[in-house]
């Protein structure tokens, strides 16, 4: 008796039960489908069941006499069967009565009797559903005819087949199979529907459509369309071979997890046959069945005789061949041996020739090398003689070298002294003196020469005479300074001229017709007087004269001219520099920063020591005390500055020092400052904001203090522009997606599931107390009520309600409220913190809220953040400057009244900043000094990630100008300028931070990768969103980045020229790395929006670095610290982004390219690769 999952059918055959209950059968359980007995059309045979095909096709002339008699007697004939169907009649198919009922025998066989006792004729066996094959039409057919018939059978019975699955409510099929070609019983490949949506895989009903194409059809046709109810399928067995039943045409088999099923529509054809034919064998009765056709049996007998004859002939031929081979085996072996010997002989002869050629070649080479060796020996002997002579000469000249050096130095000093004496004589001969009461107004030899824009206020004769004096001075300076003038001068008093040999000038038709050199010289000669000449030629001559002064200053003394139009001020400055001795140039010579700090020249070496992955000191970060000690200023610097102030009458009690001893503070009046610095202060008004700044045009300090003083504030600095956040809130409409849904909607809304799938980082699992991630905010505030709905709907694992960051208030930083939130001043902070929390939880965050939001007339707000971290970097006492950095206590109404926070803020291992400033907005030395503070944080193990900006190579909407690019000369931000205004001031330019660009998905399929973000605004081009990137005009390329930037400039950079961007190959490039920066899920006022901006990219990268720090801390190692050297030495650990660009300033910007590029940097992170690298480092 069958047990468990087995049972027996009516025939006694064991069959397993299905373990999937009917109501448990779902679409996800279907793993394959096959088709059996393909039929392209239904059977329409009209032949009576009592006849065979032969009966219909047989001509009456061929019917045998016996069959004619049978037909006349109307006796039904049984089916004849071909040789393949001749088999014994099964025992159970013959109706045999019990022997006890038999009462007679005929020829020794039992005979049955009817009811009346008369003998009963034995009945023919029941051959239900037995058909003999028709072979009559094939009997005498030619091979060609047989081939044609076989091809017709294939064409009628076989076809190309595939199927498709459809579910209600979905227009497109959920699965389309492969095509099985030329088949009657296609078995299709297995498939997995579990990847479809849960709503689809849980269905128990679907439609199956079979599509066929045969040789008769030129297109696909739908053969059947089954509506399949999985719960109603019939189980056939574990395997299709176990189904002990014939299959009807177009039988569909479904392979589920527990076995094979079929449709109900075919069950009537699947009923087990009562007369299943057993294997061929001898029956117990010993009876044999006769055939119903004598012709067929006759043919069969003849065929058997032919087969036996053929077999006998084959055996005889095989025996004869074997005897023949044995008889000649010796001769055959000899033949083979002769052939092998000939082959060996040919091989030996070929090898002999080859060796002979090689020997001949070797002999030639030997001769050549012998000759070469002899020549070399001669040359070496000659060289040894020459070296001996040179050594003797060197020994002789070494003795006289010190005296020659002394003579050279003495000659150099004499030349410089002579030049100084000549220049001093020039100052006496051509005195240039300021005009009292007028700013930047001077006269030469008592002739007033206004600046270029005020020439009409003076008589033309006086102007011409003054310009003649200027031309004479420049001519003499060019000679004595050995510096040729770019534009040669001809001093002739009030009729002096200047020649332009460079410009491309188109001569007039008359001059061209004459074709003389004299006409060309006249055309290129411009007058330095206005009488009798066109005004435009005079204006151009004055421009060339001023250009000569600029060239002399820049090429000879490396001094930059602030305004080329100031003729006499610049000439006065040139004479002043030329007469000064060595090291006595004014402080405005360059913007470099040395300052009171010492060891700054070794800063790069210090950083590389703790950040280079190939250095054994990697990760051995410095303490704050060590940083302060190493970079403390020299004592002689402080003492020298204080002594200078005291000498000028400043009471020592009015002099103070910063905590770090790197600033000297002096409270002085304007008059005292002007006298001390030999300058004049003025108020300057901003052309757009109407803000006033106190500044001067130049100032001077004693030569012996030049190397000890970085800057004096306030002096020549003007204001910049307010730092702006980088978030681009897409607040037009909330997202229709209300919660996590895997990765199927990533192109619509970026969630934590999308980020994990894209970059391969896991959910956070650790919470080290010293590893809180810091996020700095300025003009935006975190609205706490938006955190809880974000935690509930958009985090996995879900963050508990009520989690809040550690709040660090810096200089009056305050919490948000509903009024601020409704003014959309919270989206930036929401984006930063919600994104970071979803990545690093259960790790915590730290909010640095900077500023009181009242003192907004200052732009250097990054300094107040650094002040709070470093006590030595505070206000006048450490690094801040009035009018650039906000002053605290805030004098504005409602401002923060407490003192400037100087130290005390906790330092985080990772700090994410989504704010920035353009490079042209702040003084060069201000940026460089701030750069040193970021360097100190890097030495202490802090990773600083900063967003690269959202305006491509420009800085449009967040700079306060309509098109914030800069001009190519003064690098001033003005309207309609064309030079890239790279947004890299303060952070991005600095070689000690990590700049982060933005990308977006190419499609909803994460495998399609990312491109540089591009989100143009059709309503306002100034709000177009592209990833910020470019090259600095201030900071040099760091050693770790040099190869990457130079490779890009050589192979991929656009040919815009140096007036559009710094293409020298020596500039710091940015960004360094990128992350997703578009459509990032953010909750604002309890609604979900897709927010874009590099402000999203920065906290994503910061969160990933925090996870990496967690892994290092868990194994007893320190935080990563400065990230860049590791990234640039392992570029394969990032996904290279090669698509996209960052347009701006009237150009297409930079294109993304293989390797590093100024759009997406090195690419986006591969977490597992980075984890392996950082865990392998000390």
Identify the CATH number of the domain in which residue 1146 sits.
3.40.50.200
pLDDT of residue 663: 65
pLDDT of residue 138: 58
Angle between helices 827-840 and 787-794 (to 10 degrees): 40
pLDDT of residue 1057: 85
The string of pLDDT tens digits covering residues 253-294 is 999 988 999 985 544 444 343 333 344 444 444 455 555 577
Cis ω for the linkage preceding 450 (within 30 of 0):
no
Q: Which of 54, 780, 828, 885 is catalytic?
A: 828
Say how far apart CA 908 and CA 1106 lie, in whole Å: 10
Q: Does residue 846 register a pLDDT over 50?
A: yes
* Per-residue confidence band for 180, with pLDDT thresholds at 50, 70 and 90: very high
* Per-residue confidence band for 758, with pLDDT thresholds at 50, 70 and 90: very high
Instruction: Say which residue the tokens 């820049």 belong to.
Output: 554
Please indicate, yes or no, whether residues 676 and 531 belong to a single structural domain of this protein: no
More confident residue, 541 or 57: 541
More confident residue, 386 or 888: 386
pTM: 0.51
Q: In a 3-state reduction of DSSP, which class is residue 907? A: coil
1076, containing H or E segment: strand 1073-1076
Average pLDDT over residues 646-669: 69
Q: Does residue 708 register a pLDDT over 50?
A: yes
The CB density around residue 483, as the number of other CB atoms within 10 Å, is: 15
CA distances from 543 to 468, 549, 568 (A): 14, 10, 13
Please indicate, yes or no, whether residues 664 and 756 belong to a single structural domain of this protein: no
Spell out the long-range contacts of 1126-1129 with Cβ–Cβ below 8 A and sequence spacing 24 or more. 1126/611, 1126/613, 1126/1173, 1126/1174, 1126/1177, 1127/994, 1127/1072, 1127/1073, 1127/1162, 1128/1040, 1128/1041, 1128/1044, 1128/1072, 1128/1156, 1128/1162, 1129/612, 1129/613, 1129/614, 1129/1040
Please indicate, yes or no, whether residues 866 and 763 belong to a single structural domain of this protein: yes
More confident residue, 1163 or 458: 1163
More confident residue, 833 or 14: 833
pLDDT of residue 71: 58
Closest CA to 276 of 89, 534, 64: 89
Average pLDDT over residues 903-922: 84
The CATH number linked to 558 is 1.10.418.40
The string of pLDDT tens digits covering residues 1135-1146 is 999 999 999 888
pLDDT of residue 594: 34
CA distances from 863 to 170, 414, 901, 926 (A): 59, 48, 11, 10
pLDDT of residue 1106: 97
Say how far apart CA 137 and CA 152 lie, in whole Å: 14
More confident residue, 1109 or 385: 1109
pLDDT of residue 69: 61
In a domain? residue 106: no
Please indicate, yes or no, whether residues 704 and 737 belong to a single structural domain of this protein: no
* Per-residue confidence band for 638, with pLDDT thresholds at 50, 70 and 90: low
Please indicate, yes or no, whether residues 922 and 1069 belong to a single structural domain of this protein: yes
pLDDT of residue 915: 82
In a domain? residue 140: no
Say how far apart CA 189 and CA 33 lie, in whole Å: 8
| 492-506, 737-751, 836-850, 1159-1173: segment of lowest average pLDDT | 492-506
Say how far apart CA 1118 and CA 1178 lie, in whole Å: 8
pLDDT of residue 75: 45
Q: Where are the beta strands (DSSP E) in 630-763?
A: 655-657, 664-666, 681-685, 692-696, 724-725
The string of pLDDT tens digits covering residues 586-621 is 333 332 223 445 567 778 888 989 999 998 899 999
Instruction: Say which residue the tokens 């209300």 belong to.
Output: 738
Q: How many domains does the chain have?
A: 4
Closest CA to 763 of 775, 772, 751: 751
Q: Is 948 a catalytic residue?
A: no
Q: What percent of the chain stands above pLDDT 90?
A: 33
Average pLDDT over residues 102-131: 45
Say how far apart CA 996 and CA 946 lie, in whole Å: 6
Q: Is 1136 annotated as a binding residue?
A: yes
Q: Is 1015 annotated as a binding residue?
A: no
More confident residue, 133 or 198: 198
Cis ω for the linkage preceding 117 (within 30 of 0):
no
Average pLDDT over residues 232-241: 84
Instruction: Name the DSSP class of 691.
Output: -
* Per-residue confidence band for 131, with pLDDT thresholds at 50, 70 and 90: very low
Say how far apart CA 1176 and CA 1178 lie, in whole Å: 7
Q: Does residue 949 register a pLDDT over 90?
A: no
Q: Does residue 44 register a pLDDT over 60?
A: no
Q: What tokens were used for 464?
A: 């011409």
pLDDT of residue 583: 42
Please indicate, yes or no, whether residues 898 and 838 belong to a single structural domain of this protein: yes
Q: Is 78 annotated as a binding residue?
A: no
129, containing H or E segment: none
Please indicate, yes or no, whether residues 501 and 631 belong to a single structural domain of this protein: no
1172, containing H or E segment: helix 1167-1176
Domain boundary among 223, 255, 270: 270
Range picked from 97-106, 776-785, 833-842 for highest mean pLDDT = 833-842
Say how far apart CA 444 and CA 425 lie, in whole Å: 14
CA 850 to chain CA centroid, nearest Å: 33
Q: Does residue 98 register a pLDDT over 90?
A: no
Say how far apart CA 233 and CA 803 lie, in whole Å: 54
Average pLDDT over residues 467-482: 90
> Is 523:505 a contact under the CB 8 Å cutoff?
yes
* Per-residue confidence band for 700, with pLDDT thresholds at 50, 70 and 90: confident
* Per-residue confidence band for 962, with pLDDT thresholds at 50, 70 and 90: very low
| 7-16, 311-320, 889-898, 1068-1077: segment of lowest average pLDDT | 7-16
Q: Is 832 a catalytic residue?
A: yes
| 513-517, 738-742, 807-811: segment of lowest average pLDDT | 513-517
> CB-based contacts of 720: which residues, under 8 Å, 6+ apart?
859, 860, 884, 917, 918, 920, 921, 922, 985
Q: Does residue 938 register a pLDDT over 80?
A: yes
More confident residue, 819 or 707: 819
Q: What tokens were used for 854?
A: 């009242």
CA distances from 207 to 164, 189, 210, 224, 333 (A): 8, 18, 10, 10, 72
DSSP codes, 188-234: PPP---TTS-HHHHT-SEEEEEEEEE-TT-SS-EEEEEEEEEGGGPE
Q: Is 446 a catalytic residue?
A: no
Closest CA to 866 of 986, 780, 948: 986
Q: Does residue 660 register a pLDDT over 60?
A: no
> CB-based contacts of 712: which residues, under 8 Å, 6+ apart?
587, 677, 699, 701
Please indicate, yes or no, whether residues 1007 and 1138 belong to a single structural domain of this protein: yes
End-to-end CA distance of the chain, in Å? 71
Q: Does residue 778 register a pLDDT over 50?
A: yes
Instruction: Name the DSSP class of 599.
Output: S
Please indicate, yes or no, whether residues 192 and 166 belong to a single structural domain of this protein: yes
In a domain? residue 1016: yes
Q: Does residue 866 register a pLDDT over 70?
A: yes
Domain boundary among 551, 585, 619: 585
> Is 695:684 a contact under the CB 8 Å cutoff?
yes
pLDDT of residue 377: 93
pLDDT of residue 1156: 96
| 148-162, 423-437, 506-520: segment of lowest average pLDDT | 506-520
CA distances from 190 to 255, 257, 262, 1008 (A): 9, 11, 17, 26
Q: Where are the beta strands (DSSP E) in 585-663?
A: 655-657
Q: What tokens were used for 299?
A: 């043919």
The CB density around residue 382, as the number of other CB atoms within 10 Å, is: 10
Say how far apart CA 588 and CA 591 lie, in whole Å: 7
Q: Is 446 annotated as a binding residue?
A: no
Q: What tokens were used for 1153?
A: 């390219």
The CATH number linked to 258 is 2.60.40
* Per-residue confidence band for 1161, with pLDDT thresholds at 50, 70 and 90: very high
Q: What tokens were used for 281?
A: 């064998």
Range picked from 128-137, 829-838, 865-874 for highest mean pLDDT = 829-838
Instruction: Name the DSSP class of 879.
Output: I
Q: Does residue 104 register a pLDDT over 70?
A: no
Instruction: Name the DSSP class of 878.
Output: I
Average pLDDT over residues 1006-1035: 87
| 896-900, 1072-1076, 1130-1134: segment of lowest average pLDDT | 896-900
pLDDT of residue 15: 56
pLDDT of residue 1076: 97
> Is 441:515 a contact under the CB 8 Å cutoff?
no
The CA-CA-CA angle for residues 679, 685, 687, to 5°, reads: 135
pLDDT of residue 65: 61
* Per-residue confidence band for 504, with pLDDT thresholds at 50, 70 and 90: confident
pLDDT of residue 93: 44
Closest CA to 684 of 670, 696, 674, 676: 696
Domain that holds residue 606: 600-708
Q: Does residue 439 register a pLDDT over 70?
A: yes
In a domain? residue 972: no
pLDDT of residue 585: 33
Please indicate, yes or no, whether residues 494 and 612 belong to a single structural domain of this protein: no
In a domain? residue 944: yes
Say how far apart CA 400 and CA 390 lie, in whole Å: 15
Q: Which of 832, 852, 919, 933 is catalytic?
A: 832
Say how far apart CA 395 and CA 417 lie, in whole Å: 34
Mean pLDDT of the chain: 79
Say how far apart CA 951 and CA 962 lie, in whole Å: 12
Please indicate, yes or no, whether residues 764 and 829 belong to a single structural domain of this protein: yes
pLDDT of residue 863: 83
The CB density around residue 503, as the number of other CB atoms within 10 Å, is: 9
Q: In a 3-state reduction of DSSP, which class is residue 377? A: helix
> Is 1162:1012 a contact under the CB 8 Å cutoff?
no
Radius of gyration over every alpha carbon of the chain, rounded to an integer in angstroms? 50
Say how far apart CA 1079 and CA 1095 lie, in whole Å: 12
Say how far apart CA 1028 and CA 946 lie, in whole Å: 11
If 0-12 CB within 10 Å is exposed, 13-18 middle and 19+ buried, where does residue 248 land? Answer: middle
Residue 169 phi/psi, 5-degree rounding, is 85, -5
Instruction: Say which residue the tokens 């994990």 belong to.
Output: 756
* Per-residue confidence band for 899, with pLDDT thresholds at 50, 70 and 90: confident
* Per-residue confidence band for 882, with pLDDT thresholds at 50, 70 and 90: low
Query: Helices marked H in 852-894 — which ranges?
Result: 862-869
Q: In a 3-state reduction of DSSP, which class is residue 151? A: helix
In a domain? residue 704: yes
Characterize 260-295 residue by residue with b for buried, 16 or more Cβ atoms within 10 angstroms of its Cβ, and e for exposed: bbbbebbeeebeeeeeeeeeeeeeeeeeebebbbeb
Please indicate, yes or no, whether residues 783 and 892 belong to a single structural domain of this protein: yes
pLDDT of residue 268: 43
Q: Which of 292, 838, 1095, 1141 is catalytic?
A: 1095
Q: What does the chain come to in residues?
A: 1178
Q: What tokens were used for 577?
A: 């520099």
In a domain? residue 137: no
> Is 204:231 a contact under the CB 8 Å cutoff?
yes
Domain boundary among 255, 270, 285: 270
Range picked from 55-64, 229-238, 811-820, 1134-1143 for highest mean pLDDT = 1134-1143
* Per-residue confidence band for 957, with pLDDT thresholds at 50, 70 and 90: very low
Q: Does residue 641 register a pLDDT over 60?
A: yes
Q: What tokens were used for 185?
A: 């019983």
Say how far apart CA 506 and CA 547 lie, in whole Å: 22
The string of pLDDT tens digits covering residues 719-730 is 444 444 454 444
Q: Does residue 1096 register a pLDDT over 50?
A: yes
> Is 77:49 a contact under the CB 8 Å cutoff?
no
Q: Does residue 43 register a pLDDT over 50?
A: no
């Amino acid at each position: 008796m069958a047990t468990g999952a087995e049972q027996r059918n009516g025939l006694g055959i064991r069959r397993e039960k299905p373990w999937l209950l009917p109501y448990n059968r779902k679409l996800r359980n279907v793993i394959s489908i096959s088709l059996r007995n393909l039929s392209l059309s239904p059977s329409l045979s009209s032949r009576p069941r009592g006849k065979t095909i032969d009966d219909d096709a047989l001509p009456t002339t061929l019917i045998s006499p016996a069959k004619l008699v049978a037909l006349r007697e109307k006796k039904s004939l049984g089916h004849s069967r071909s040789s393949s169907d001749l088999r014994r009649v099964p025992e159970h198919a013959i109706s045999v009565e019990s022997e006890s009922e038999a009462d007679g025998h005929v020829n020794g066989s039992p005979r049955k009797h009817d009811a009346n006792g008369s003998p009963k004729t034995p009945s023919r066996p029941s051959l239900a559903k037995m058909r003999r094959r028709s072979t009559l039409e094939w009997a005498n057919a030619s091979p060609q005819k047989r081939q044609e018939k076989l091809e017709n059978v294939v064409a009628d019975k076989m076809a190309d087949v595939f199927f498709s699955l459809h579910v209600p409510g979905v227009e497109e099929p959920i699965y389309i199979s492969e095509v099985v070609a030329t088949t009657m019983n296609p078995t299709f490949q297995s498939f997995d529907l579990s990847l479809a949506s849960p709503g689809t895989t849980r269905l128990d009903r679907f439609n199956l459509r079979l599509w066929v194409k045969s040789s008769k059809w030129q297109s696909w046709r739908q053969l059947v369309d089954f509506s399949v109810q999985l719960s109603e399928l019939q189980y056939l067995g574990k395997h299709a071979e176990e189904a002990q039943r014939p299959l009807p045409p177009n039988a569909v088999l479904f392979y589920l997890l527990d076995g094979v099923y079929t449709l109900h529509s075919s069950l009537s054809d699947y009923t087990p046959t009562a007369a299943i034919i057993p294997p061929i064998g001898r029956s117990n009765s010993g009876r044999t069945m006769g055939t119903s056709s004598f012709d067929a049996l006759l043919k069969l007998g003849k065929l058997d005789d032919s087969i036996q004859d053929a077999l006998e002939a084959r055996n005889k031929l095989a025996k004869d061949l074997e005897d023949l081979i044995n008889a000649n085996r010796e001769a055959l072996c000899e033949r083979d041996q002769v052939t092998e010997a000939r082959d060996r002989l040919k091989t030996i002869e070929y090898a002999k020739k080859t060796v002979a050629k090689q020997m001949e070649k070797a002999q030639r080479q030997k001769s050549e090398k012998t000759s070469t060796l002899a020549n070399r020996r001669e040359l070496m002997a000659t060289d040894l003689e020459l070296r001996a002579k040179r050594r003797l000469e060197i020994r002789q000249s070494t003795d006289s070298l010190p005296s020659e050096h002394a003579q050279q130095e003495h000659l150099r000093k004499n030349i410089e002294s002579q030049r100084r004496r000549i220049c001093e004589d020039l100052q006496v001969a051509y005195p240039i003196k300021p005009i009292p009461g007028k700013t930047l107004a001077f006269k030469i030899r008592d002739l007033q020469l206004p600046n270029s824009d005020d020439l009409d206020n003076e008589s033309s004769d006086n102007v011409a005479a003054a310009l003649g004096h200027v031309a004479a001075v420049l001519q003499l300076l060019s000679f004595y300074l050995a510096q040729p003038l770019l534009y040669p001068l001809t001093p002739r008093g009030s009729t002096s001229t200047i020649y332009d040999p460079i410009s491309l000038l188109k001569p007039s038709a008359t001059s061209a017709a004459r074709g003389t050199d004299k006409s060309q010289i006249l055309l290129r000669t411009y007058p330095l007087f206005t009488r009798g000449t066109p005004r435009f030629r005079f204006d151009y001559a004055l421009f060339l004269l001023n250009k000569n002064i600029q060239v002399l200053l820049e090429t000879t003394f490396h001094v930059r001219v602030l305004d080329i139009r100031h003729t006499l001020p610049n000439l006065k400055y040139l004479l002043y520099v030329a007469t000064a001795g060595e090291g006595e140039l004014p402080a405005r010579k360059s913007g470099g920063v040395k300052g009171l700090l010492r060891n700054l020249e070794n800063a790069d070496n210090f950083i590389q020591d703790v950040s280079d992955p190939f250095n054994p000191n990697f990760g051995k970060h410095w303490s704050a005390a060590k940083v302060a000690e190493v970079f403390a200023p020299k004592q002689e610097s402080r003492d020298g500055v204080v002594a200078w102030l005291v000498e000028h009458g400043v009471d020592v009690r009015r002099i103070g020092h910063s905590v770090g001893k790197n600033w000297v503070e002096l409270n002085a009046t304007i008059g005292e400052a002007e006298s001390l610095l030999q300058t004049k202060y003025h108020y300057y008004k901003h052309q757009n904001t109407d803000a006033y700044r106190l500044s001067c045009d130049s100032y001077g300090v004693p030569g012996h203090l030049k190397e000890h003083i970085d800057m004096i504030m306030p002096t020549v600095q003007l204001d910049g522009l307010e730092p702006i956040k980088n978030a681009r809130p897409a607040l037009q409409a909330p997202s229709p997606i209300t919660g996590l849904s895997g990765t199927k909607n990533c192109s619509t809304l970026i969630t934590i599931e999308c980020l994990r799938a894209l970059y391969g980082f896991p959910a956070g699992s650790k919470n080290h107390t010293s590893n809180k991630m810091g996020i700095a905010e300025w003009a935006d505030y975190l609205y706490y009520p938006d955190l809880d709905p974000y935690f509930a709907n958009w985090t996995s694992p879900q963050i508990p309600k009520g989690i809040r960051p550690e709040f660090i208030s810096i200089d009056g930083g305050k919490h948000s409220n509903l009024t601020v939130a409704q003014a959309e001043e919270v989206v930036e902070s929401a984006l930063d913190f919600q994104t970071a929390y979803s990545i690093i939880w259960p790790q915590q965050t730290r909010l640095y809220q900077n500023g009181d939001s009242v003192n907004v007339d200052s732009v250097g707000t990054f300094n107040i953040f650094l002040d709070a971290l470093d006590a030595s970097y505070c206000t006048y006492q450490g690094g801040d400057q009035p009018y650039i950095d906000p002053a605290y206590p805030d004098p504005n109404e409602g401002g923060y009244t407490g003192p400037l926070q100087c130290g005390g803020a906790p330092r985080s291992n990772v700090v994410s900043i989504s704010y920035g400033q353009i490079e042209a907005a702040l003084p060069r030395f201000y940026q460089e000094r701030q750069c040193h503070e970021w360097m100190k944080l890097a030495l202490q193990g802090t990773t600083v990630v900063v967003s690269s900006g959202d305006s491509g190579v420009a800085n449009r909407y967040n700079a306060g100008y309509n098109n914030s690019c800069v001009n190519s000369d003064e690098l001033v931000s003005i309207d309609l300028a064309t030079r890239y205004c790279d947004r890299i001031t303060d952070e991005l330019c600095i070689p000690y931070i990590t700049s982060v660009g933005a990308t977006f998905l190419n499609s909803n399929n994460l495998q399609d990768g990312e491109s540089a973000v591009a989100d143009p605004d059709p309503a306002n081009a100034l709000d177009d969103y592209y990833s910020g990137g470019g090259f600095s005009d201030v900071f040099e390329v760091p050693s770790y980045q040099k190869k990457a930037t130079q490779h890009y400039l050589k192979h991929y950079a656009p040919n815009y020229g140096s007036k559009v961007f710094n293409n020298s190959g020596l500039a710091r490039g940015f960004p360094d790395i990128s992350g997703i920066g578009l459509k990032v899920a953010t909750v604002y006022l309890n609604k979900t929006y897709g927010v874009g901006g590099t402000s999203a990219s920065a906290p994503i990268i910061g969160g990933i670095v925090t996870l990496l720090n967690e892994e290092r801390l868990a194994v007893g190692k320190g935080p990563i610290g400065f990230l860049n050297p590791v990234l640039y030495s392992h570029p394969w650990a990032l996904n290279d982004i090669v698509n996209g660009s960052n347009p701006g300033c009237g150009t297409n910007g930079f294109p993304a390219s293989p390797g590093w590029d100024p759009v997406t940097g090195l690419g986006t992170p591969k977490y597992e690769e980075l984890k392996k690298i950082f865990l392998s480092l000390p």
